[in-house]
Chains A and B, each alone.
Chain A
Amino acid sequence: MALLEIKQLKKRYRTPENKLHTVLDVPAFQMEAEQQVALCGESGTGKTTFLHLIAGILSADEGEILLDGTDLHKLSEANRDRLRANQIGYIFQTFNLLQGYTCLENVMLGMSFGPGVDKDYASQLLIRVGMQDRMHHYPRQLSTGQQQRVAVARALANRPKLVLADEPTGNLDNTRAEEALHLIREACKENKAALLLVSHDWHILNAFEHCQDLASLNKATREEKRA
């Protein structure tokens, strides 16, 4: 059974002119456990929306998203939150660390919504991403590369089955981007987590064995282009 299976997924937005606009129409997509897949796409092709739908942050208008056999959108919002906390790790382009919390607290905070806070494991993760000397630093005291490392540790804190990474290297220079990508991929592998990464940077995408163009998956984009 696939870890992630998407069928006839549709998401529409209401435009300012009060018209329904289909931003995402993915007939099928799937990922196996521990698989690492990159999705490429230009800005506005619905990459972030796609990840938000998989994470249960947004609700789909139609279709199914099965994560390890559970249809996300048949769950109540509270259960979706719980599932997201327990099974999905999320790495953002701008890292989204909470500024009032230290690195260690940022990692532990993620744990508190999932299976529970494990300070030792949180420390281990920070050591793994090379932040052993910065555990009690606040995000503002870190470089962007260091912040991304903390974000990686936080995403893996609840031993998720799937890590979603939304342009995780978008704010980093080329050298740091390569380092960050390597770290994300290795850390996911070590934690037996599948990785779905979206980016528009071909330099990053080329590093993946499985790379798909979201535009080819998304009928909505294709039809828009045709129109």
Chain B
Amino acid sequence: MILKMVFKSLRQHLLSTTITSFSIALAGGLILSVWVIKDQSNAAFTGVNAGFDAVLGARSSKLQLVLNSIFHVEASPGNLALEDYEDIKKHPGVEHAIPIAVGDNFKGFRLVGTLPELFTDTEYSEGKKYATLPGGRWMDTSRREAVVGGFAATQLGLKVGDTFHPYHGLLFDEEKQHAETYVVVGVMELTNTPADRVIWIPLAGLQKMSGHDPKTANDISAVLVKLRNPQAGFRLDLMYNKQGDRLTLAWPIDQIMAQLFSKIGWFDRVLEMIAYLVAVVAAGSVLAGIYNSMNERKRDIAILRALGAGRRVIFGSVVLESTAISIIGMIMAFGVYAIIFSTAAAVIRVQTGVVLTLGTWHPALLWTPLGMILLGAITGCVPAIKAYRTHVAENLIPVS
């Protein structure tokens, strides 16, 4: 019957119940989103390395090199000579070295010039190799052929057999169209990595695109390096970063990304603080909603007491009501979380190609509802004390 009392009270105060539940939903959804998006994106970004251990590029920041070469965002810090690629390729500690060149786009999607070995000889993740969808193949380096990343193909509506004219620069400008025509010979299977956002063409094609400076026709933007062992990384780091002053070796990639996340960790904490603040405000709204209704409920409480309801029953029913509002709110919170997460994931995917998955387990999915429900129950204690102290005789006085 106590549950029925709680249900009746929630229904009698439907507007207040709805508003306070929604505020809980908003707070719960925000906390869930902040925690899950933060941790998932951290894991996703530090886990993305395209199957390589290091990036060799022009003297610049390591982060810029990684962002440009692995995540295909940011501008290239500069070029390096083809000989630099050949040098590192010959290094005994290097298993694979793949050159890439950037500088053009098609409707905002980056064109990356590379060698077919990137697709045939390397894995983008442990045990996972790049593949084209049925009917496609890798490009022939002697022709103007392109293989389009799965996400880019969907967004651009490109399929095998389609042709396109690249545009100069990394940002789309209609007036900077190149004369060359490329034929799509393959669409890649989705990898859920930044590679999905790239249109891959032969290295020479990009180097020798019309309008590019002929003096830099043999230059490349970076070299993706797969090492045989970590010791090779130390040796190369010493050689390029400490003893040399012309090139930069960004190694190890995951640590460079982790450093980025630790640098912007304060932003996560600000978001967390905002989410917690919203939770406190939401709990306060539950408290205010129930507490303010206590005056109008005094008579009902007195009647219940006169019927034999003990103080503890009254106290418990108010705490349960507050808890029920939190439970309803937290059920809605998962909807709010799904909306926020999906929106954020879509933006992150469009901008970086990194995919965040909504259904992935995170401890916050358990402790946030439990915490919010507990907070609701604790909050309910304040009006419950007021209800507990309701003077029966005084509130049974007939009212006309």
Contacts and interface: CB of A to CB of B under 8 A. Distances in A.
Q: Which residue, B9, B305, B306, B398, has most C-beta atoms of chain A within 10 A? A: B306
A58 B393 contact: yes
A82 B312 CA distance: 12
Contacts of A52: 392-393, 396
A81 B305 contact: yes
Contacts of A78: 310-312
Given A57-B393, A92-B398, A101-B8, A85 B1 contact: no
B308 A93 contact: no
Given A93-B398, A96-B396, A117 B1 contact: yes
Interface of A: 48-49, 52, 55, 57-58, 77-78, 81-82, 84-86, 90, 92-94, 96, 98-101, 105, 108-110, 112-114, 117, 154, 158, 170
Interface of B: 1-2, 4-5, 8-9, 11-12, 299-300, 303-313, 392-393, 396, 398-399
Contact of A94 (B1, B11, B399): B399
A64 B266 CA distance: 69
Given A94-B398, A100-B9, A81 B393 contact: no
Contacts of A100: 8-9, 11-12, 300
A55 B303 CA distance: 13
Nearest to A52: B393
B71 to A, nearest CB: 59
Question: Lowest 6 CB-CB distances: which A-B pairs, in order?
Answer: A85-B308, A112-B1, A113-B308, A81-B310, A94-B398, A100-B12
A76 B306 CA distance: 16
A119 to B, nearest CB: 12
A57 B392 contact: yes
B305 A57 contact: yes
A4 to B, nearest CB: 18
Given A57-B306, A90-B306, A110-B307, A98 B300 contact: yes
B211 to A, nearest CB: 78
Given A57-B305, A92-B306, 17 more contacts: A49-B393, A57-B396, A77-B310, A77-B311, A81-B308, A81-B310, A84-B307, A94-B398, A96-B303, A96-B306, A98-B304, A100-B9, A100-B12, A100-B300, A101-B8, A105-B4, A110-B307
A215 to B, nearest CB: 21
A25 B279 CA distance: 55
A163 to B, nearest CB: 13
Contacts of A77: 310-311
16 contacts: A48-B393, A49-B393, A55-B306, A57-B306, A78-B310, A78-B312, A85-B307, A96-B396, A98-B303, A98-B304, A99-B300, A100-B11, A109-B307, A110-B307, A110-B308, A158-B308
Contacts of A81: 305, 308-311
A108 B306 contact: no
A113 B398 contact: no
Contacts of A57: 305-306, 392-393, 396
A85 B308 CA distance: 4
Contacts of A101: 8
Contacts of B300: 98-100
Nearest to A114: B308
A86 B398 CA distance: 24
B120 to A, nearest CB: 73
A171 to B, nearest CB: 8
Contacts of A55: 306
Contacts of B311: 77-78, 81
Q: Which residue, B8, B9, B11, B399, has most C-beta atoms of chain A within 10 A? A: B8
Nearest to B307: A110
A108 B2 CA distance: 12
Nearest to A154: B307
Q: Which residue, B8, B308, B309, B399, has most C-beta atoms of chain A within 10 A? A: B308
A112 B306 CA distance: 13
Contacts of A109: 1, 5, 304, 307
Nearest to A116: B1
A86 B308 contact: yes
B15 to A, nearest CB: 15
Contacts of A92: 306, 396, 398
A113 B313 CA distance: 9
Nearest to B313: A113
A100 B312 CA distance: 21
Contacts of A58: 393
Contacts of A112: 1-2
Nearest to B300: A98
Contacts of A85: 307-309
A43 to B, nearest CB: 11
Contacts of B308: 81-82, 84-86, 110, 113-114, 158
Given A58-B393, A98-B300, A100-B12, A113 B399 contact: no
Nearest to A112: B1
A113 to B, nearest CB: 4
A100 B300 CA distance: 10
Contacts of B303: 96, 98
Nearest to B312: A78
